[in-house]
Each structure stands twice: as structure tokens, then as C-alpha cells.
Amino acid sequence: MSVSIPLRRDDGVIEVLKGYRVQHNNSRGPYKGGLRFDRNVDLDEIRALAMWMTWKCALLDVPYGGAKGGVRVDPRRYSTGEIERITRRYTSEIAPVIGPNHDIPAPDVGTDENTMAWMMDTYSVGRGHTVLGVVTGKPLDVGGSLGRSASTSRGVVAIALEALRHVGIDSAGATAAVQGFGKVGRTAARLMQEEGLRVVAVSDATGAVADPDGLDVAALESHVDDSGGLAAFPFAKSIDAEDVLTANVDLLVPAAVEGAIHAGNVQQVRARVIVEGANGPVTAEADKALAELGVLVVPDILANAGGVVVSYFEWVQANQSYWWSEAEVNDKLVDRMQRAWRLVTSYAVEHAVSLRLAATCLAVERVYKAHAARGLYP
Ligand code: GLU
């Protein structure tokens, strides 16, 4: 669905933005997938992301299909009030195609729990009663789940630890670089440090920093909270953002946007293991080259699935109005991630294919089985 979003800006000028919601497949359950606010959003990007959600949900065995939404807007150039008006108008435009049993949005690039609260509220106003299950990734005060905000990162780290073990690297003292210091990369860096890894290089849209002895992630986080970005962090050397991707590390976590590692920079990649925190950070050409270079790549539909797994837990809790403890959420999340890891690695070994191909085959097969079992109506 393509929609126009007329926005009255704070200065009174009217602007019209473009928005999309793509539903890729619902053989296994309601459509599910995030909503992104980004200046590069277009229909093709949202279609690709919707398809990845179908495979991701199937691979992790959560009972959803795949969808994605987006608004073509640079949220940094708009006030909070303007973002709220964009969110509410977008939600009312797509309201006919979403719902707790139909299509359930969640946060993605450029959106957060406030966006989800406004979406839930706008949808609920239209229905005349509160519908908690229409979106996930909500604030705790309005039906969010404990553990949701850190869930993608927690899943990335659980998978990174497995991947390092798989290639025989001891995670204690292993080095890591993280591209992106937003919702996923920032908490992943902190959790990796807690697990004993040394985070030696990080970047965001404003800058990049490195320290071979290990960055102080807590200090980075408070600098970002105060100044809005990594630029001008006083306690480490500034480097080129591209150098984070080519850092000589055991583990690289690209956790920003699509296409970060491409044919033009892949030959400089030094990491032994890449865990895709973002959706689609490695292009198809780069993926081939990395296989030839012997780099283990853990695909997005496995590596960053922790977000939608806890979205599923949030939806289950909201539908039952019964809330779990944070430890319960985290334990169930890590257990599911590890089970999916074992499934994908054993398939990859058995069929002598990459983890990406193994994960995709398993996911497509599950969607196929659901599709075939349902048959054709009438
Ligand atoms: N946007 C996240 C993703 O790409 C989460 C989606 C969700 O929770 O529905 O997986």
C-alpha cells in the first residue's frame, strides 16, 4: 500500500511525504515487520525488507508472515511534534490493512517506542478501544515487554558468541568492531564488552573512533546521550568511518543500513566473522567474495532476529494481558536464538552450503509447508 502523508510543519508550511506498507507473505500467520523513517526509503527497499521478514519469522519459528513499512523522511530534520503528526497520519492511512491479527508493525531504522505508542493510540482511537497487540516495541507503560528494547542486540551477541566458538576463537579477549551505534549496535557493543570481548572500533552517522586496547562503551554511550553522536568523543582516536568495516578484528557487526559491505570495500575486510546486525548490510557480490576469503558470515535473518522474537513475546503477553519477568524474556530469547543457530549450522554442514543459504532454505521450506498445508481456496 502506498500512501501520501500531508504534514503541517511547525512553521505552517504543508509538505506531502510518501509512505509504504508492504505485505509479503502470511502463510504462517499475521504479517509482521518494522516501520522505518529514512530519507532513502522507497518501494523496492520496503519490498525487499518485507521479504526478509517472512524468512526471518519462519526461521525463528514465530507464527508470523513478513511485512515492512516506511516513510521517506529524514527524521533528524523534523521536530518531535512533526514526527508525531507524520506517524499518526501514516497510521490512519494504513489502518485498514493492519491489526493485531492482520499486520503488526514494530520499530526499525529511525523509529522507536514513542512512534509505536502513537501508532497504537491512533489505531485504538479509530477502533474506539485500546488495541495493545496492533504494534510491538511499545513503551512498558502501554503494553511493551521487558527486554524488548535490548532484544535485537542480545540476539546478535548470543549468535556472535556461537559464531566465534564455531571458528575456534575464544570470545574472552576477542576483538570486535561495530558499525552503527544506534538501537542495535550500541547495546550490542555494551553486551559484548560484558561478555569479555574488546570493542576496538565503532562508528555512527556522525563519526568513528578506535582504541586497540578496547573502547569504554559506557563512556561512549554517555557521550552520545549528551552530544547526539560519536563525533568528538574525547577519550579515543577519531578514525574514518570506513576503517571500522576494514578493522583488523575477530568479529565485525555491521548494524546500520543495507549495503555497507560491497564490491568496492570487501577485499579490505579483515574480520574473521561477520554477524549482520542490520538487514542486508552485505551486498550479494560482497557475500560471494567473503565466502572466497574464508570469512564466516552470519546472515541477518538469523543474526538480528532477536527483535522480532521478543516482539512475538510482547504480542503474546499483550493478547493475554499477562506479563513476564525480564529474566524470563531474556532466557526464552537466547534459547530460541541458540536453537536456530544449531539448526542453521547443522543444515549448512549437511548440505555443504553457506549459513545464508542454509537459513534461507530452512525458512523457505517452512513457508512452503504452511502454504501447501493450507491448500487452495475454494
Ligand atoms: N525491525 C525489526 C526487524 O527488522 C523488528 C521487526 C519486528 O519486531 O516486527 O527485524
Distance 202 CA to ligand 1 centre (A): 23
Q: How confident is the model at residue 194 (pLDDT cuts 50, 70, 90)?
A: very high
Could you identify the atom of ligand 1 that is nearest to the CA of residue 64? 9
d(CA 41, CA 43): 7
Ligand 1 atom closest to residue 308's alpha carbon, by position in its atom list? 8
At residue 258 the predicted structure's pLDDT band, cuts being 50, 70 and 90, is: very high
Residues 6+ apart with CB under 8 A from 124: 130, 131, 134
The per-residue pLDDT for range 335-346, each reduced to its tens digit, is: 999 999 999 999
Cβ contacts of 259 within 8 Å, gap of 6 or more: 280, 281, 283
Provide the pLDDT for residue 196.
98
Of 108, 116, 136, the one to substitute when testing ligand 1's pocket (max ligand atoms within 8 A of C-beta) is 108
Q: What is the pLDDT of residue 377?
A: 95
Residue 253, number of CB atoms within 10 A of its CB: 35
85: Cβ contacts below 8 Å, ≥ 6 apart: 7, 8
Q: To test ligand 1's pocket by mutation, which of 98, 145, 152 has the most ligand atoms within 8 angstroms of CB?
A: 152
Atom index in ligand 1 nearest the CA of residue 305 equals 10
pLDDT at 154: 98
Closest by Cα among 113, 144, 192 to 310? 144
Dump pLDDT digits (tens) for 199-218: 999 999 999 999 999 999 99
Reply yes or no on whether 288 is catalytic: no
pLDDT at residue 59, rounded to an integer: 98
How many angstroms separate the alpha carbon of residue 54 from the centre of ligand 1?
11
Q: Which three cell numbers stand for residue 267?
A: 577485499
Going by pLDDT thresholds of 50, 70 and 90, the confidence category of residue 177 is: very high
Cβ of 279 below 6 Å from ligand 1: yes
Give the HSE-up count for residue 62: Cα atoms under 13 Å, Cβ half-sphere.
32
pLDDT at position 16 is 98
- pLDDT reported for residue 265: 98
Measuring CA to CA, which residue among 130, 107, 253 is closest to residue 183?
A: 107
Q: Ligand 1 within 6 A of 193 CB?
A: no
| 180 pocket-lining for ligand 1 (C-beta < 6 Å) | no
Give, using CA atoms, the residue closest to atom 8 of ligand 1: 308
How many C-alpha atoms does 41 have within 13 Å on its Cβ side? 26
Taking residues 35-51, what's their average pLDDT?
Answer: 98
Ligand 1 atom nearest to CA at 105: 9
Task: Report how far residue 218's alpha carbon sits from residue 207's, in angstroms, rounded to the nearest whole number.
Answer: 17
Q: How confident is the model at residue 147 (pLDDT cuts 50, 70, 90)?
A: very high
pLDDT tens digits along 56-102: 999 999 999 999 999 999 999 999 999 999 999 999 999 999 999 99
Mapping DSSP to helix (H, G, I), strand (E, B) and coil, where does residue 101 land?
coil
Q: What pLDDT band is residue 155 in, cutting at 50, 70 and 90?
A: very high
**How far is ligand 1, taken at its centre, from the CA of residue 34, in Å?**
5
Indicate which residue of 32, 68, 138, 183 is catalytic: 68
- pLDDT value of position 38: 97
Is 135 close to ligand 1, i.e. is its CB under 6 Å away? no
Please state the rounded mean pLDDT for residues 333-358. Answer: 98
Q: What sections of the chain are H helices per DSSP?
A: 43-59, 80-94, 113-127, 151-166, 185-194, 217-227, 241-245, 284-293, 300-303, 306-320, 326-351, 355-374
- Average confidence (pLDDT) over 300-322: 97
Q: Is 59 in the pocket of ligand 1 (CB under 6 A)?
A: no
How far apart are the C-alpha atoms of 216 and 209, rounded to whole Å? Answer: 11
Report how far residue 160's alpha carbon sits from residue 250's, in angstroms, rounded to the nearest whole number: 10
- For the Cβ of 108 lying below 6 angstroms from any atom of ligand 1, the answer is yes
C-alpha 14 to ligand 1 mean position (Å): 31
Percentage of the chain modeled with pLDDT above 70: 100
pLDDT at 137: 98
pLDDT band at 125 (very low <50, low <70, confident <90, very high): very high
